[in-house]
Amino acid sequence: MLTIDIDGTLVSDKFIISQANQEALHKAEEAGIILALASGRPFESCMKLVNKLKLKSKYHIISDGAWCGDKEGNELFCQPIHNLLIEQIVDFARRIGLHIELYTLHHGYAEIKNWSDYVHVNYLGVHIKYQPFDEFWQKDSILKIGLLSKDDDEMALISQMEERFGHLLNFSCASAPCAPDVHFINIVHQDVNKGIALKKLSAYYGLTTAQIAAIGDGINDIPLLEAAGLAVAMENAKAALKEKAHMVTGHVGADGVAEFINDYLL
Question: Which residue range is the domain that position 231 belongs to?
Answer: 2-78+192-265
Domain boundary among 168, 189, 210: 189
pLDDT of residue 10: 95
Instruction: Note whether 135 and 199 are same-domain residues.
Output: no
pTM: 0.94
* E strands in the chain: 2-4, 35-37, 60-62, 67-69, 75-78, 101-103, 108-110, 128-130, 144-149, 169-176, 179-189, 213-216, 230-233, 247-248
Of the three residues 158, 189, 220, the one that is the final residue of a domain is 189
What CATH number does the domain containing 200 carry?
3.40.50.1000
Over the stretch 197-219, which tens digit does the pLDDT of each residue have? Answer: 999 999 999 999 999 999 999 99
Distance between CA atoms of residues 178 and 157, nearest Å: 24
Q: Are residues 170 and 219 in the same domain?
A: no
Same-domain pairing of 67 and 109: no
> Where a domain ends, among 189, 207, 223?
189
Do residues 185 and 99 share a domain? yes
Same domain? 111 vs 163: yes
> pLDDT band at residue 181, thresholds of 50, 70 and 90?
confident
Clarify whether residues 102 and 178 are in a common domain: yes
Kindly report which listed range (130-134, 196-200, 259-263) carries the lowest average pLDDT score: 130-134
Number of domains in the chain: 2
pLDDT band with cut points at 50, 70 and 90 for residue 121? confident
